Chains A and B, each alone.
Chain A
Amino acid sequence: MMSPVIRSATISVLVENEAGVLARVVGLFSGRGYNIDSLTVAPVDDNGHRSRINIVTSGTDMVIEQIKAQLDRLVPVYKVADLTLGGPHIAREMALIKVVGIGESRAEALRLADAFRARVVDATTESFVFEMTGSSDKLDAFTALMRPLGLAEVSRTGVAALARGTTII
């Protein structure tokens, strides 16, 4: 029987790139009470006919199966893949993180950014904007560290994800 434990799932959806398709997907989640922890969408083929939507959601196995089935029956959906269940995958996002401060906290922010392999993409005498790419956990850890050092603003892209190896959805 299916597990009642709530798990996280990264789901990729290949859709026809037409007006309203994102609203259909998002409306499905809000209308049926599912969670969206992260969502990204962009065209992914040359002629712009298809877009890929990556959704990070959470729920019991029964709910996640239901989410996939509901997505799959939308008319403009080509394919739904559960990357979390489908085997090893990479899921990464990018964040821009603004830290405002002077003196020792500013120097400490820069040292930590270096340790986390964040790039400085903007700097003033009183601020840095770091760019960082990686797993959501890593981005969470870094922003938590920046909080006492003058964290002012964060902008994150949401997760882009692919299966490892030769597998495609």
Chain B
Amino acid sequence: MSQTLPAPEPVETQQAGAEVLLRALKEQGVEVIFGYPGGAVLPIYDAIFQQNAIRHILVRHEQAAVHAAEGYARSTGRVGCVLVTSGPGATNAVTGLLDALMDSIPLVCLTGQVPTHLIGNDAFQEADTTGITRPATKHNYLVKRPEDLARVVHEAFYVARSGRPGPVVIDLPKDILIGKAPYMSAPTVEHRSYRPQTEPDRVAIARAVALLKSAKRPVIYSGGGVINAGPAAGAAMTALVRKMGYPITNTLMGLGAYPSNDPQFLGMLGMHGTYEANLVMHGCDVMLNIGARFDDRVTGRLNAFSPNSKKIHIDIDPSSINKNVPVDIAIVGDAGRAIAMLAEAWDADPTEVDRPAIAAWWKQIAEWRGIDCLKFTQTQVAGGIIKPQYAIQRLYDITRELGRETFITTEVGQHQMWAAQYFRFDKPNHWMTSGGLGTMGYGLPAAMGVQIAHPDALVIDIAGEASILMNIQEMSTLCQYRLPVKVFILNNQYMGMVRQWQELLHGGRYSESYTDALPDFVKLADAFGGTGLRATSVDQLDDVIREMIASPRAVIADICVDQKENCFPMIPSGAPHNQMILGTEHGDNIADAGAAKLTDAGMALV
């Protein structure tokens, strides 16, 4: 196989490993690295110092470097790049790597390692990085020979972005970075063993179209795969779904692929999805899943999930198909290609769709929509307490009115679900949230990565007061690089989602979910060199939002919200889609869907 690769250069012109590394990164199009120096990676930092092509952003914690690279990757569609040192540098990065793995985000993370002759000796700052990160990455490498270095870097980028994207670690012993190494350009030949299928099967596409045309109660359910396939895939899906005239729902990861103000859009589905989206999933007869993975937050109780439907599943990862939910038509391939082929086959198939049945289905959906499951009551009396839903709604309305390009990141918890429900997305790649791993502390560093990639855009981290403290040190990074990220904290002094579960499932025993000694976020922002703002009542909210957005600096807006508010609708763990808890606004309105029962089996689920 080696003879098919470009020939390495002769010894006399070879450079140090660290320089070869940077050259390969440059060839791969890397413009920004998020990192933190340390002993094992000093040769790389020395090489970075002596060049200008690649910009380095100095974070304050390695986990944040990875989340920042995730934000960069998700908002640009490019591969994010991270550089950390050995030992604790690498172990601190692990949470971010697993986050990227679960949300299919392409990253290359360079980790320092002790020199090859010390590996296995429990040397200072030594960790078995490839061992530790093996289940947290798509793939990882330990470079033990200088002649492998350039090839491994090129291969890592190929693996990170190909097929289902994911994080790749390259572990770099210090002697490899210091010693001479040959350079090699990116290979133009196919990878030896990793060749994911991206082209869908034409016969399966035709069968899918026939099934979709025969549907009486269809639904399209799309996920992060459509986002990863690029903006063109989202646009093509939107055109196709409009042509079909069928309802569509998005997963948390898929928001933005379909314009959320479109009448065919049902909102997000799943545990905190809309009433209509979940009932459509439950009652449909044909389901088209594009690039989503039947996650447990989406399906609820598996044996009651969409019991009467034929299911079509398009996924680039064959292991996602038939993993949780058995499907009738499996299509392996890139979502963008699959959508294009579906559109073609849809036009080519002369069968007419059952318009009367579809009209009846929309009539039923209109009834479900009539429940207005996201309804809430906000007092407008001066001094009135702010509802968290209202805060997000005003944030959305004001950013929309200003018309600036806006990116939203979130931390994890109630605020995240409210953001998904009340902020409306029209474009892909503008919504960054930790879906699979549910990493508190994700939003601030992710926003930092987004702002680096889009210096003129408005980047807002919708946060909770608990999550934000998990990576608050990045305020320092924001101020160093003058990144005007806005942190919009829905402050209820509780770990809200924990409190909500304790209220609903654990008899209201609020064990350790109340934070007794929160910092003064206004002073905290000030201490870091940013701007702090606070709204404690509804009459102050709009002014704070406008001031926050207008500020040229990093801002923390501390929005003090109703402490008792819960996130509804909610499908409790272990319940099916047609058993949702609606908010107190709805009184007995849940009767027709069957009240959700909290079961012992469900209690055991997360």
Contacts and interface: CB of A to CB of B under 8 A. Distances in A.
A157 to B, nearest CB: 26
A21 B142 CA distance: 12
B193 interface: yes
Given A49-B1, A75-B139, A20 B134 contact: yes
Contacts of A90: none
A62 B326 contact: yes
Interface residues of A, number: 23
Interface stretch (A63-71, A115-123, A134-142): A63-71
* Chain B, interface SS category: loop
B194 A75 contact: yes
Contacts of B134: 20, 23-24, 27
A31 interface: yes
Contact of A75 (B135, B138, B319, B323): B138
Interface in A1-58: 1-2, 15-16, 19-20, 23-24, 27, 31, 49
A150 interface: no
B322 A19 contact: no
Interface in B131-163: 131, 134-135, 138-140, 142, 144, 159, 163
Contact of B322 (A23, A31, A65, A72): A65
A16 B193 contact: yes
A59 interface: no
Contacts of B163: 73
Interface in B279-330: 317-319, 321-323, 326
Contact of B193 (A1, A23, A66, A78): A78
Contacts of A66: 319, 322-323
Given A23-B134, A75-B138, A16 B192 contact: yes
A163 interface: no
Interface residues of B, number: 24
A101 interface: no
B88 interface: no
Nearest to A76: B193
Contact of A19 (B135, B142, B193, B196): B142
A75 B326 contact: no
Contacts of A75: 138-139, 159, 193-194
Contacts of B322: 2, 62, 65-66
A31 B193 contact: no
B130 interface: yes
A70 B326 contact: no
Given A19-B142, A72-B318, A73-B317, A1 B135 contact: no
A77 interface: yes
Interface in A103-122: none
Contacts of A76: 193-194
A77 B139 CA distance: 12
Nearest to A66: B323
Interface string B102-141: 0000000000000000000000000000110011001110
Given A2-B326, A16-B192, A73 B318 contact: yes
Nearest to B130: A20
A164 B28 CA distance: 46
Interface string A64-108: 011001101111111000000000000000000000000000000
A69 B140 CA distance: 19
Nearest to A24: B134
B141 to A, nearest CB: 9
A72 B322 CA distance: 15
Contacts of A69: 317-319, 321, 323
Nearest to A30: B135
A109 to B, nearest CB: 44
Contacts of A1: 326
A74 B193 CA distance: 9
B196 A73 contact: yes
Interface in B154-197: 159, 163-164, 192-194, 196
A74 B140 CA distance: 11
Nearest to B194: A75
A27 to B, nearest CB: 6
A52 to B, nearest CB: 14
Contacts of A62: 322, 326
Nearest to A14: B193
Nearest to A16: B193
Contacts of B159: 75
B327 to A, nearest CB: 11
B12 to A, nearest CB: 29
Contacts of A77: 193
Contacts of B164: 73
B131 A31 contact: no
A20 B128 CA distance: 12
Contacts of B193: 15-16, 75-78
A77 B193 CA distance: 6
8 contacts: A2-B322, A15-B193, A20-B142, A62-B326, A66-B319, A69-B323, A72-B319, A78-B192
Given A23-B131, A73-B196, 4 more contacts: A31-B135, A62-B322, A69-B323, A75-B139
Q: Lowest 3 A-B CB distances belong to which pairs?
A: A69-B319, A75-B139, A69-B318
